[in-house]
Amino acid sequence: MDSDNNFGPHKVGVFDFTILFEQSILSLLPTALFLLLVPLRLFVLRNNERAVELRALLWLKLIIGGYLAVTVILDIALVRTFWIRSMWAIAAVFTCSLVLKATLLILEEWPKPLLPEHDKIQETSSGVINRSIFWWLNSLFLQGHRSILETGDLQNIDPKFDTNHVSGPLEKRWLRDPKNGQFSLLKCTFLAYKWQFAAGILPRLLHSGFNFAQPFLIQSVITFVGRKEMSVQISSGLIGATVVIYLGLAISGAWHKHLSFQMVTMYRGGLVSLIFKKTLKLKTSSIKDSAQVTLMTTDVETVVAAGASVHDMWANMLELPIGIYLLHRQIGNPSLLVLVPTIITTILSGIVSVAMEPATVRWNEMVQRRVGETSSMLDQIKGIKMMGLTDFFLQTVQSLRVRELKISAKFRWLLVHFVTLAMVSAQVTPVVVILSAIYWSKSDEGLSVAEAFTSLSLVSLVTQPLVSVLVSLMQIAGVFAGCGRIQAFLLLKEQELMTTEVPENGLAVAIVDATFSTDDGNTLLSDVSIRIVKGTINMIVGKVGSGKSSFLKAIIGENTPSQGNIKRETSVAYCDQLPWLRNTTISKNIIGESQVDEKWLATVIRSCALEEDLAQLPQGQATLVGSRGVALSGGQKQRVALARAVYSRSKLIILDDVFSSLDQTTADTVFDRLLGANGLLRTSTIIMVTSNARFLPSANYITVVQEGCITRNQVTYFELELTETLKAIAPSQVPKIVQRDIATVSPTKEIDLSRKTGDTECYKIYVRSMGWKVIGIMFPAAVVGAVLEVMPQIWLRIWTEKGDGSKDAKYAGGYVGLVVLSMLLALLNIGYFLIEGVERSSNNLHEQLLRAVCRAPLHFFTTTENGSILNRFSQDMTLIDMSLPLAFYLTLDLTLRGLVQTGVVASGASYFGAFLPLSFLALYLIQKYYLRTSRQMRLLDLEAKTPLYTQFTEITAGLATVRSFGWTKELLDESFKLLDTSQKPFYLMFCIQRWLELVLDLFVAGMAMLLVTIALRIPGTTSEGAIGLAMVNLLGLNLTLTTVIDQWTSLETSLGAIARLKAFISSTPNENKDTERDMPGNWPAGKIEIEGISASYSGKSSFILSILRLLEFQAGTIRIDDPVNISGTVRQNMDPEGLVQADEILTAALKKTTLWPVIETRGGLDADVSTLGFSVGQRQLFCLARALLSHSNIVLLDEPSSSVDDITAKEVRQIIQEVMHGRTVIEVAHRLDHVTDYDIVVVMNEGRIVETGNPRDLLTRGSALKALRG
């Protein structure tokens, strides 16, 4: 007993610890730590019956559970000690104590009733053991295995991931930061969630400790096998040590990675919320090219990917010197040579990482440009198809894709360099160390089997951190680039907020000596002074481009004065000339973020003349309007937007030419019901731009704007000179669109089932996209490479067993040759795949998707969200470009490597091979059980992001409207809810990955225990070399198996992009019909024949759409000549195909439409159209100028003067008569003043032709035309 009073820890002569060591370290230490925390818990629980019902106390449950779990395990050693010392009384007491603790632990782990707000939050209410082994996820796996998972089926996650919770700390840090460095955002992000980072430090240190225990275990097992006499106690101790080490690796690895992923989930929520908030504060001129969506997808995901391994970055730095020290104990000074490859690869990787950041930035910029061009195409798809622009856009976007892939090739080359450096470190380092030991420190006695394989395990533990460091450098380069782009965005100049100063009594708006300019210094309005009286109707008139819309935007605060000041009412509603609608129901678009009032809604709908329209729609108010309102006609969209302004009951209502898309009858009806003598808005203050002179007599005051100046300020209609008055113009009514049922691209039942079981056709599509040549080279090379990778270890076993590890050129040469051959083959294989295979595949798949979109009929876009389509071109293409090829290659390579490693492990003990079939069966069942849920979770993750991105693009499109209504907070809250929804599958995907890693680690732990048990308990089943080789391969087998299934899951997820592409192409109808009539021999001749056409739309513009084949015919035929082709920056927009050689011709067309003076002052033909700030009327004139350059025999015009003043309308009419003489001109018109200029007029009503004939003849008798003209 005397030795038990010493600290020990080993008791002399007995295979046990000393009692002093056990009681001080295994008993008193955990108890002391517990006693520091338990008073806090007792104080909080003093007045509560059930702690689980208090959300703030759930984490305290882990303290008791953790203490009980740890002490139960440690007390087993104490109980064993007292029993083998024959200290019966003390042993009995400690045994009872152990049973009591175990009972308490079971009770603490037992599920308890939850409050309603905690329903389904299974993780936070689970005990420490439950959470350590991720048992709480089994219900999710069972549900995913049995049925199709939906977002609503997912259990709630910890409230600490709520966007409102995670956004606060980061926003506060960012606002306080001086922002004087390029890494300011990165620093703020880390510091905002520093405590979550700190929580993962201890489990990561424990994981490192268990890692470095493996070489000691390997050496002890090999040494024991080499002995002639075997001790049962020692063999039992080694088996127990194997269990503890591998279980410790499994639990600590799962914990530290789980905590890391909790941290990056917070990173994602915080960064996306910052981008959302910043966007709502930006100037509308700063929002373009879908840049913010790219930041939310590509850049944030890059930061998340790197953040997941943040603990490995610092831990690897600690593991490197520790590993070198332990290696030095084995082989002496040659251990220092492990630094040679390390230093070389680190220097070279540093050089490569410097080049990686600009390569990543350039690639992301090209992705942003391509996605922006695609987004622009989708936003104006109707106009593009009407003008036959689809082929041009197809070529334009695809050429951007080709250029993007050429630019990304540099990044992929650098990626190959990184893989090369990592491979050199992993493969060359063992050669350098082993050969140095044999020919230097062990040259006399040779290298024993135990020393050789212990050294190999230590080299592996040193090179793994090194490879991780190299990978981290690559990730850091991406993080710097991604954070840099996000930071640059967050530092953009914000829209200045209008002061809330209210004008003096009786005034709604007061502007004094104000001048408004663009960011580049161009003056929009100068010396503006105006006083608008409350309760009056104020109309703003002027020529196209005179500054009317700029004046309205100045009032709502979108244009801030460079001098002077503005005061206005705080309650404002704004209706833009281009109506802003969200992809939701009509009623929700009208109500917006206002309070629901059904009675008031019905009144507003009637006042805006929407009753008849809603009656024609199958779902009435519940009809979805589609992306940007594509399912509605222009007039319907304008009236819905107008209804939103009316519904808001705002005191000040600002309308920007909202009647331009309505026919005169509808316009008169709406105007009378809203602004007539008994109109709904007669008590409100109205400021409206109008190009319809019929409304001017109803105005209390009229303001005339010319060339950015107010020439007549608040005069009455009778004071306005006749020459200044605009004559009545009645814009065309766009067809009412009947809702179709074929809209959305939703997977069929077969595709839904593939969410669980996968789709082998996706593999075939991907392989075909690369070409069989690439696969034919890559696959055989991967098989040979997997075998060659373990051959150096097998050769070393032969060397140390048969050659005694002594100096022998034959063995040394073979060892080096096998390593070089393995490395060279692997590098050539991955290099060929990443450069040749990826470029072919990415190019082919993008072109297939783009062609499917461009060839889809118009009705497809009326019922399919643009955000959903855009997701295919952004997120799915990102998966296809990077995630998919890497996952494909790594899954193949690691699967082959895992099979070879398993065979090597099985060779470690004779009887172990009998368990191989069971092992493979277990792996098969694990992957099957896991993948059924994992596939669905990955898809749910992608699907949950689509509404988030759609919401974001919609808000940015209508930012001026959102801010004018004061809805930024409501829409931000709504966006945060969508972000919270997307966080659930995002976080749970990480959780089930940790479950998989834990299960595989436990599987490897079972293999290790079985291998060691057979080797130590059954004599003659193994040798020193065999067991050493097996355990060294076992060292990396768990990582290989985990990575295989993880990469397989990533592959299945990435193949989801292929599945969606396949579903999209197969379910998207093609507007090019096989039954369409061939072109006649005399085509084109300028002749149109229409026979019995019946289409599902109605109206005059539908007639134009039918001619262009954008409406599906129910009966009849159309034969038509080639339509007009256009495209788009001044020169490129005017002449996309480069048919006009002389700039003078382009300039002349622009002069005829009066646009040249505006364009000339801003850069001429080389000016970027997006920077010209054209008004709606100017855009119409620009389209007309483009049409003048066409030599087509048929010209289709859909109300070309709907948004221009009367003087400009006359100029447009004169241009049509002069330039288009001799062509077939078909025009939709509400302006009947010039109807006599045409040869034939067709009068339509409710989709039917009422009468046709010569307009002069029809006007001389009682015709429908004469009735319309009045």
Please state the φ and ψ torsions of residue 706, each to the nearest 5 degrees.
Answer: -135, 125
pLDDT for residue 20 is more than 50: yes
pLDDT at 901: 87
Phi-psi region of 159 (alpha: psi -120 to 50; beta: other; left: phi over 0): alpha
Domain co-membership, 305 together with 399: yes
pLDDT at 817: 93
Domain co-membership, 584 together with 703: yes
pLDDT band at 1085 (very low <50, low <70, confident <90, very high): very low
pLDDT band at 738 (very low <50, low <70, confident <90, very high): very low
Domain co-membership, 483 together with 437: yes
pLDDT at 1093: 43
pLDDT at 251: 92
pLDDT band at 516 (very low <50, low <70, confident <90, very high): confident
Highest mean pLDDT: which of 179-193, 472-486, 751-765? 179-193
Is 733 within the bounds of a domain? no
pLDDT at 23: 72
pLDDT (tens digit, 9 = 90+) per residue, 1169-1213?
767 767 767 777 777 787 777 767 777 776 666 666 666 777 777
Domain co-membership, 944 together with 1012: yes
Domain co-membership, 464 together with 532: no
Is 748 within the bounds of a domain? no
pLDDT band at 749 (very low <50, low <70, confident <90, very high): very low
Domain co-membership, 532 together with 489: no
Task: Give the residue-averaged pLDDT of 812-825.
Answer: 90
pLDDT (tens digit, 9 = 90+) per residue, 1126-1143?
445 777 777 776 666 578
pLDDT band at 1125 (very low <50, low <70, confident <90, very high): very low
pLDDT at 1073: 58
Is 291 within the bounds of a domain? yes
pLDDT at 324: 87
Last residue within a domain, chosen from 98, 131, 164 = 131
**Which residues contact residue 47 at a Cβ distance below 8 angstroms, ignoring those fewer than 6 apart?**
none
Domain co-membership, 935 together with 972: yes
Domain co-membership, 649 together with 781: no
pLDDT band at 754 (very low <50, low <70, confident <90, very high): low
Q: Is the distance from CB of 762 to CB of 820 less than 8 angstroms?
A: no
Q: Is the distance from CB of 68 to CB of 104 less than 8 angstroms?
A: yes
80: its two tokens: 């064993």
CA distance 1136 to 1054: 36
Cis peptide, bond prior to residue 792, ω within 30 of zero: no
pLDDT for residue 113 is more than 50: yes
Is 777 within the bounds of a domain? yes
Q: Which residue has the higher pLDDT, 9 or 296?
A: 296
pLDDT for residue 1144 is more than 70: yes
Is 182 within the bounds of a domain? yes
Strand 1248-1253 relative to strand 1241-1245, pairing: antiparallel
Last residue within a domain, chosen from 700, 724, 748 = 724
Identity of the amino acid at 814: G
pLDDT for residue 844 is more than 70: yes
Neighbours of 519 (CB within 10 A): 9
Helix ranges (DSSP H) in 676-771: 749-757, 760-770
Neighbours of 389 (CB within 10 A): 23
Cα-Cα-Cα-Cα torsion 685, 691, 693, 695, nearest 10 degrees, comes to -30
Is 302 within the bounds of a domain? yes
CA distance 838 to 441: 47
Number of domains in the chain: 4
CA distance 1251 to 1244: 7
3-state class (DSSP) for residue 1093: strand
CATH code of residue 605: 3.40.50.300
CA distance 606 to 612: 9
Per-residue HEC secondary structure of 1031-1075 comes to HHHHHHHHHHHHHHHHHHHHHHHHHHHHHHHHHHHHHCCCCCCCC
pLDDT for residue 1244 is more than 50: yes
pLDDT band at 1083 (very low <50, low <70, confident <90, very high): very low
pLDDT at 1128: 54
Please state the φ and ψ torsions of residue 656, each to the nearest 5 degrees.
Answer: -105, 90
CA distance 180 to 184: 7
pLDDT (tens digit, 9 = 90+) per residue, 192-225?
999 889 889 989 999 999 999 999 999 899 888 8
Cα-Cα-Cα-Cα torsion 191, 197, 199, 201, nearest 10 degrees, comes to -120
Burial (CB count within 10 angstroms: exposed 0-12, middle 13-18, buried 19+), residue 11 = buried
CA distances from 243 to 532, 853, 1024 (A): 84, 57, 21
Task: Give the residue-averaged pLDDT of 840-855.
Answer: 88
Q: Is the dihedral of CA 187, 192, 194, 196 positive or negative?
A: negative
pLDDT at 120: 55
CA distance 76 to 138: 29
DSSP H or E run through 348: helix 339-379
CATH code of residue 913: 1.20.1560.10
Q: Is the distance from CB of 578 to CB of 641 less than 8 angstroms?
A: no
CA distance 1107 to 713: 46
Is 849 within the bounds of a domain? yes
pLDDT band at 1124 (very low <50, low <70, confident <90, very high): very low
pLDDT (tens digit, 9 = 90+) per residue, 669-714?
999 999 998 899 988 999 999 888 888 889 999 999 988 888 888 8
pLDDT (tens digit, 9 = 90+) per residue, 383-432?
777 667 778 888 888 888 999 999 988 888 888 887 777 777 778 888 88
- CA 43 from centre of chain: 45
pLDDT (tens digit, 9 = 90+) per residue, 876-929?
888 888 888 888 988 898 889 888 888 888 888 777 778 888 888 888 888 888
Domain co-membership, 276 together with 423: yes
Domain co-membership, 548 together with 415: no
pLDDT band at 603 (very low <50, low <70, confident <90, very high): very high
Expressed as residue numbers, the domain containing 1148 is: 1102-1269
CA distance 330 to 437: 9
Q: What is the pTM of this model?
A: 0.72
Q: At what angle do helices 838-854 and 390-436 cross, to 10 degrees?
A: 160
pLDDT for residue 54 is more than 60: no
pLDDT (tens digit, 9 = 90+) per residue, 56-108?
455 556 667 777 777 787 788 788 777 877 788 888 888 888 888 888 877 77
**Which residues contact residue 1032 at a Cβ distance below 8 angstroms, ignoring those fewer than 6 apart?**
218, 453, 456, 457, 460, 793
Neighbours of 578 (CB within 10 A): 19
Is 145 within the bounds of a domain? no
Please state the φ and ψ torsions of residue 1096, each to the nearest 5 degrees.
Answer: -80, 5
Which neighbouring-strand residues pair with 537? 686
Q: Is the dihedral of CA 969, 974, 975, 976 positive or negative?
A: positive
CA distances from 827 to 341, 343, 415, 423, 1180 (A): 17, 21, 11, 8, 58
Q: What is the number of H-type helices and E-type strands within the chain?
A: 45, 15
- Residue closest to 506 by CA, chosen among 569, 456, 558: 569
Per-residue HEC secondary structure of 390-452 comes to HHHHHHHHHHHHHHHHHHHHHHHHHHHHHHHHHHHHHHHHHHHHHHHHHHHHCCCCCCCHHHH
pLDDT at 589: 93
DSSP secondary-structure letter at 28? I
pLDDT for residue 730 is more than 50: no
Q: Is the distance from CB of 181 to CB of 166 less than 8 angstroms?
A: no
pLDDT at 262: 93
CA distance 159 to 975: 17
pLDDT for residue 14 is more than 80: no
Which neighbouring-strand residues pair with 528? 514
3-state class (DSSP) for residue 1119: strand
pLDDT at 61: 63
pLDDT for residue 1100 is more than 60: no
pLDDT (tens digit, 9 = 90+) per residue, 932-942?
888 788 888 88
pLDDT at 684: 92
DSSP secondary-structure letter at 12? T
Q: Is the dihedral of CA 517, 523, 526, 531 positive or negative?
A: negative
Which neighbouring-strand residues pair with 517? 523
Q: Which residue has the higher pLDDT, 389 or 837?
A: 837
CA distances from 1227 to 324, 1056, 1187, 1246 (A): 83, 46, 13, 18
DSSP H or E run through 328: helix 310-331
Q: Is the distance from CB of 433 to CB of 327 less than 8 angstroms?
A: yes
Q: What is the largest CA-CA distance in the chain?
A: 130
Identity of the amino acid at 843: N
Which neighbouring-strand residues pair with 567? 510
pLDDT at 1187: 76
pLDDT (tens digit, 9 = 90+) per residue, 888-900?
988 898 889 888 8
Please state the φ and ψ torsions of residue 702, each to the nearest 5 degrees.
Answer: -125, 135
DSSP secondary-structure letter at 557? T
Q: Is the distance from CB of 274 to CB of 174 less than 8 angstroms?
A: yes
DSSP H or E run through 705: strand 701-706
**Which residues contact residue 930 at a Cβ distance below 8 angstroms, ignoring those fewer than 6 apart?**
141, 992, 995, 996, 999, 1045, 1049
- Residue closest to 237 by CA, chosen among 51, 77, 126: 77
pLDDT at 375: 81
pLDDT at 1204: 64
CA distance 266 to 580: 33
- Average pLDDT score, the chain: 80
CA distance 833 to 892: 12
CA distance 647 to 684: 12
- Residue closest to 1060 by CA, chosen among 800, 1184, 884: 884
Percent of the chain with pLDDT over 90: 17
Domain co-membership, 203 together with 305: yes
CA distance 1038 to 85: 39
Domain co-membership, 818 together with 702: no
